[in-house]
Amino acid sequence: VTLHPFHARAYYFLGKIQAEKEHHKQALKALNRAQDLAPQQADVLQERSNVNRMLGNLDDADDDQKRAIQLKS
């Protein structure tokens, strides 16, 4: 991320790693950045939905899930 501050995939994978470590707030921050850089990536939205659900942000989780499904169709 330091070398490529505008690389959405790097933020996505950082978010996934943070989520696996149960660092959900840091994961959400990374996934938000990934989403800002690549708003049409369904996998980013899906992962962010999972993290939002873990944080209890159920409305945000549902919104991300719905958007991810739309992008996949």
Amino acid at 20: E
pTM here is 0.90
Residue 14: CB partners within 8 Å, gap ≥ 6? Answer: 1, 30
8-state DSSP, 29 = H
Confidence of residue 4 (pLDDT cuts 50, 70, 90): low
pLDDT at 2 over 60: no
Cα dihedral sign for 39, 64, 44, 54?
positive
Residue pLDDT, tens place only, 12-64: 999 999 999 999 999 999 999 999 999 999 999 999 999 999 999 999 999 99
For tokens 């209890």, the residue is 56
pLDDT at 73 over 60: yes
